[in-house]
Amino acid sequence: MCGTVAGCEGCPIAGDFYLPATLASLGAGERATVRRLAAPKGSDLRKLLALGLLPGVELEVERRWPAMVVRMGFATVALDAGLAEGVVVSRQP
């Protein structure tokens, strides 16, 4: 997956390998898994925690404008692009 000739078989980082993207960079309809929170400010981080955006959570972007609308299970949350920059995700096919 990462392009080495040996392939994924036996590779130590296989399965944990992902191309990091921020939630803000996802388009409408894209699915992703939250990997890590990288909000520089503590206050922003607490907001992300309040919304339930935690590592391991799977989400789908419903719309990007006028603010990001993200669905996680049966819960839907809205956040602005600034906050979404602080969520590192890996895209799901």
Partner 1 sequence: MSQPIGLLPDETAAVLPDAAARRWLLVGAPNVGKSALFGRLTGVYTTVSNYPGTSVEVTLGVHDLGEGTVGVVDTPGMYGLLAVSEEERVARRAILEGSGQALIQVADASHLDRALPLTLQLLALGRPLVLACNLMDEARRRGVAPDLALLSERLGVPVVGTVATTGEGVADLAAAAERGAVPVDGWALPQPFADVVALLAEGHGGVRLLDAELALCGDPEMEPAHAAAAPRLWMAASSMRDARWGVADGFAVALATARRRMALALLDGVVPPAPPERRRRRAALDRALLSPWTGIPLVLAVLYVGFYRFVGTFGAGTLVGWVERVVFDRWLTPPVTAVARAVMPWAPLRDLLVGPYGLFTLGVRYAVAIVLPIVGTFFLVFALLEDCGYLPRLALLLDRGLKRMGLSGRAVIPLVLGFGCNTMATLVTRTLETRRERVIVTLLLALAIPCSAQLGVVLGILSVYPAAVAVWVCVLLAVFVAVGALAASLLPGDPPSFYLELPPLRMPGLRNVLLKTGTRVRWYFAEILPLFLLASVILWAGELTGALRAATHAIVPAVRLIGLPDAAAPAFLYGFFRRDFGAAGLYEMARRGVLGPAALTTAAVTITLFVPCIAQFLVMRRERGTAMAVTVLVVATGVAFATGGLVGWLLRAVGGWA
| Site residues, partner 1 (CB under 8 A) | 36-37, 39, 42-52, 54-57, 63, 65-67, 69, 73-80, 82-83
Minimum distance of partner 1 from residue 92's CB (angstroms): 16
DSSP state of 26: P
Minimum distance of partner 1 from residue 4's CB (angstroms): 30
- The first and second tokens of residue 34, run together, are 């939250």
Q: Which is nearer to partner 1, 19 or 65 (CB)?
A: 65
Q: What gap in Å lies between CA 8 and CA 16, rounded to an integer?
A: 11
CB 20 within 8 A of CB 33: no
Minimum distance of partner 1 from residue 25's CB (angstroms): 17
